[in-house]
Amino acid sequence: MGKIMPGERFPVLKKKLSPESYCALASIANPKVWAFVADCIQLCQPDETWVSTDSPEDIARSRQEAIRVKEEIPLSIPGHTVHFDGPEDQGRDREVTRYLVPKGEKLSPALNQIEREKGLKEIRELLAGSMKGRTMIVRFLTLGPKNSVFSLPCLECTDSYYVSHSLNLLYRPGYDEFRRLGSQARFFATLHSAGKLNELAVSAEPGKKRIYIDYLTDTVYSVNTQYAGNTVGLKKLALRLTIRRADQEGWLAEHMFLMAVHGPQGRKTYLAGAFPSACGKTSTAMLPGEKILGDDIAYFRPIKGQCRAVNAEAGIFGIIQNVNPVDDPLIWKVLTNPGEIIFSNVLVKDGRPYWLGMGIEPPEDGVNFSGKWFRGKKDAQGKEIPFAHKNARYTVSLKALDNCDEALDQPEGVDLSGIIYGGRDSHAWFPCQQSFDWSHGIVAYGASLETETTFAIIGQEGIQEINLMSIQDFVSIPLGKYVRNNLEFGKKLVRPPLIFAVNYFLRDEDGKFVNGLRDKHIWIKWMERRIHGEMRARRTPTGFIPCFEDLVKLFKEILKKDYTSDDYRKQFSLRVPENLAKLDRVEKFHRQEVEDAPPEIFQILQEQRKRLLEARRLYGDRVTPDSFPVVTE
């Protein structure tokens, strides 16, 4: 029996593909791949379909075509381009991002969902004929390093060269991996169409925007949107599918950065961190003098008793607001020198990009996400349009950074020693603390992570909310099960990573921040020393905090700055009523929003409540840090 070709089973492929693209697809011996591509062609009806093989010419084509069709505009610095999303397409859209849930199943109430058949009908009707007059691009990539237990093959079909160009920078090429795996490839698939475009080459029907996740078939559908968080299927959309895969296979997929922190005698220690958008995630991962391994999505596996970790991605889709040469010298260097970068939703004047908080006065006019812009321009509601969007971004390969860690593509990952949870909390959490053990950290820090909504999500800003482990928007299994998986994961490890919490947004009674912008580096260095048993701590009701004497040394060593006892009291005095109120909110959330919440959650929260009440009985509502005992554990 001869070899079956894709055109024999799916005639549309032979008919609609060029000989080169047909040959490229035929080299992947996977009928499920053929079926998906054929369905996309029949549904979306592109004029032509191009299958990328990741050759240097194909990699270059995405950028060249994005410029030709005006999805990107070249800037004055070689390699730099800018892309604009529409005014109503400037962030992840929670309201129209939904799980397709089969009849008889349901996810946690906190997760947006729609009955599967109804949702499929709606999204496919919106996608029908959406690529007429355009080219469908077929891309093969991997999440995680190639040829690794961590790697997950992915396929995306899109009519956006900007999306394809972004994929080049953000992920590892996967065409050869699909050829190697053949029919064994269990892949995630994404179908995206920007839909109808206006004269600015942006999606013209944002009211018909939909991003639907079908976890039965590991497929994401996205239409009438161009914002990368809604269209680059391997980002948060695939994270939702990866969480289900990890749940089935006993590992963890996390919304976390990965970094390497340098210690004494050339030591390098790997930490992960979960921060909601605009809460200091990238600036922590990019601390001067340290190494970055990833800024967004990490996979953890228990291997020989160790927690091994990899970056699912190979690039950064980073918030550019407040990136400046003083606070972010490494990113600033990349953004202001030749190299392949996509800016999005910044202001452009004379080929130069301007963004909020860059420390340079912007021009009085230019081009931004609203089209031609001038100071004082207003939107349809009469609200003044800023020169750049708060959620403006830059897209760049990690390997373009001087501080990219050498282990980025290491198939076995790195040995993870610490995990950090951080949000926006003006009132309660210390700037830095360490949990008593794995379970306490997962519950009291991770499952209790509270923040304020920011510009990275469409909707009202400044609303206080629980954002469980900074992954709540993406969890496609019951939230209670997700917490339980984290609790159980620690039991598979000989020495689980230590768990820490940070809060860069604590304010004093006058509303002023008690953290300096660079103080985060001290907290990270303290964690590194704690992991290796080199620094003491004070035991408080909510966790271990640094000792004053150690911070004096670290501030002098790292920041060349004097640290005073007044600084220590402001930062590390326990605020009992605020922490009790936080516990109330957290417990209410888990009782109302988390189905099948593990009983350990309420047990650990209750134990913390008792410790807080006892501290108030002994010392009052504000407890200075020197009231707590010093421990060496």
Candidates 40, 157, 279, 547; catalytic one = 279
Question: In the predicted model, what is the mean pLDDT of residues 395-412?
Answer: 96
Residue type for position 491: K
501-533 pLDDT tens trace: 999 999 998 889 999 888 999 999 999 999 999
- Greater confidence, 458 or 602? 602
Average pLDDT, the chain: 93
Q: How many CA atoms lie within 13 A of 41 on its CB side?
A: 21
Percent with pLDDT over 90 in the chain: 83
pLDDT for res 456: 46
191-207 pLDDT tens trace: 999 999 998 889 999 99
In this structure, how many other beta carbons lie within 10 angstroms of the beta carbon of residue 399? 11
Q: Could you give the strand order of the β-sheet that contains 371-374, starting from the edge strand earlier in sequence?
A: 352-354, 347-349, 365-368, 371-374
> Which residue, among 128, 99, 340, has the nearest Cα to 219 in the 3D structure?
99
Residue 3 pLDDT > 80, yes or no? no
Residue 463 pLDDT > 90, yes or no? no
pLDDT for res 455: 47
∠8-12-17 over CA atoms, to 5°?
100
Helix 31-44 to helix 19-26 angle, to the nearest 10 degrees? 140
378-400 pLDDT tens trace: 998 899 999 999 999 999 999 99
**Of the candidate ranges 2-16, 235-249, 302-316, 562-576, the one whose mean pLDDT is the lowest:** 2-16
Residue 338 pLDDT > 80, yes or no? yes
| Distance set, CA 375 to CA 321, 343, 383 (Å) | 19, 21, 12
Question: In the predicted model, what is the mean pLDDT of residues 223-239?
Answer: 91
Look up 279 and say whether it is catalytic: yes
Q: How far apart are CA 134 and CA 47, in angstroms?
A: 6
pLDDT for res 92: 81
Domain-wise residue ranges, the chain = 6-70+88-249, 253-268+284-290+411-631
pLDDT for res 624: 97
pLDDT for res 189: 97
276-327 pLDDT tens trace: 877 888 889 989 899 999 999 999 999 999 999 999 999 999 889 989 998 8
pLDDT for res 94: 81
CA 370, 372, 373, 379: dihedral to nearest 10 degrees? -40
Question: In the predicted model, what is the mean pLDDT of residues 460-469?
Answer: 76
Full-model pTM: 0.93
Residue pair 131/280 in contact (Cβ under 8 Å)? The answer is no
For residue 197, the SS3 value is strand
Q: Which CATH superfamily is domain 6-70+88-249 in?
A: Phosphoenolpyruvate Carboxykinase, domain 1 (3.40.449.10)
**Of the candidate ranges 90-94, 362-366, 567-571, 602-606, the one whose mean pLDDT is the lowest:** 90-94
Instruction: Establish whether domains 6-70+88-249 and 253-268+284-290+411-631 are of one fold.
Output: no
Domain 253-268+284-290+411-631, CATH 3.90.228.20 — does that match?
yes
Q: How far apart are CA 28 and CA 9, in angstroms?
A: 14
456 secondary structure, DSSP code: T
Question: In the predicted model, what is the mean pLDDT of residues 391-414?
Answer: 96
pLDDT for res 459: 52
pLDDT for res 390: 92
Residue 29 pLDDT > 50, yes or no? yes
Residue 1 pLDDT > 60, yes or no? no
439-458 pLDDT tens trace: 999 999 999 999 875 444 44
Q: How far apart are CA 265 and CA 254, in angstroms?
A: 31
